[in-house]
Structure 1
Amino acid sequence: METELTRIFDALPVIAWIALPDGHADFINRCWCDLAGRGTEEISGQGWMALVHPDDLPAMLASWHAMVASGKPGELRVRMRHGDGNHHWHLFRVGPLKNASGHVTRWYGMDTGTGGRQQPAESSPASELDALLTIDAMPLPVAITAPSGEVRRVNRHALHYFGRSFEQLKRSKASEVVHPEDLPYIISAQSKAYETGSTYNVQSRHRRSDGVYRWFNVVGMPLRDAQGHISCWMHLLIDIDDQRRPEEALRTTERKLRSIIHTIPALVWSARIDGSVEFFNQHYLDYVGLSAEQVADWGWKAAVHPDDLDGLADSWQLIMASQAPGETEARLRRFDGEYRWFLFRVNPLRNEAGHIIKWYGISIDIDDRKRTEEQLRRSEAFLAEGQRISMTGSFSWCLDDNEVMLSDELYRIFGFDHDTTVTLDRIAGRIHPDDATLHADKKSDAREVGSDHDYEIRLRMPDGSVKHVHVVSHCAQGRDGQREYIGAIQDVTQRRASEETLGALRSELARMAKINSLGALTASIAHEVNQPLSGVITNASTCLRMLAADPPNIEGAIETARRAIRDGHRASDVITRVRALFSRKSSNTERVNLNDATKEVIALSQSTLKASRVTLKTDFCQDIPPVTGDRVQLQQVILNLLLNASEAMNGVDDRPREILVRTEVDEDARVRLTVQDSGVGFESEGLGKMFETFYTTKSSGMGIGLSISQSIIERHQGTLRAQANNGPGATFWFAIPRAGSDMRTTTSDSDATAPLLRAARVAGSL
Structure 2
Amino acid sequence: MSMSLDEDAVTYGANDGLGILNSLPGLVWTTDEAGTLRYVNTRFIDFTGLMNDQGESWQLASFLHPDDQLVTVRAQKDAQQGGVQLVAARFRRRDGQFILLNLSVSPMNGPGGDVCWLAIDRLETIDNPISNADRDFRNFLDSLSLQALLLTPTLELDFANHAAWRWYSSSGVPQDRRANFNLGKLEEIAFQLQAGQNRNEPAVVSYQALSADGTLRWLEAHVTPIREQNGELAGYCVLQTDVQDSRDSSHLLGHEMEILEMVARGAPSASVLQRLCDVVADLVPDLVCGFLELSLDRKLFRMGAASSLAGEFREIFDGKSVISDKNPCSTAALTKRTVEIATMAECDQHDTLMGEMMLANALHYCKAIPILSPYGNTAGILIILRHQQADFRPREQQIVDRAKHIAAISIDRTRHEEALLKRETQVERSQAQLVAAQRISSTGSFTSDIQRDENIWSEEFYRIFDLDPELKPSIDAVRERVHPEDLELFDFEMKRGFAGEDADFVFRIIRTDETLRFIRGLARITHYIGDHPVFMGTVQDITETRRAEDALRRGEEALAKAREELAYVSRVMTISALTTSIAHEVSQPLSGILANASACVRLLALDPPNIASATDTARRTIRDTMRATEVIKRLRAMFNRQSPAMETIDLNEIAREVIALSARDMREKLIVLEARLAPELPPITGDRIQLQQVILNMVLNGIEAMAETEERPRRLLVRTALASEDMITLSISDAGVGIAPDAPEKMFEPFFTTKRNGMGIGLSISRSIVENHGGRMWAMSNDGPGATVAFSLPSIEEKCV
Same fold (TM over 0.5): no
> Of the two structures, which has the highest relative contact order with CA contacts closer than 8 Å and spacing of 6 or more?
1
TM-score by length of 1: 0.33
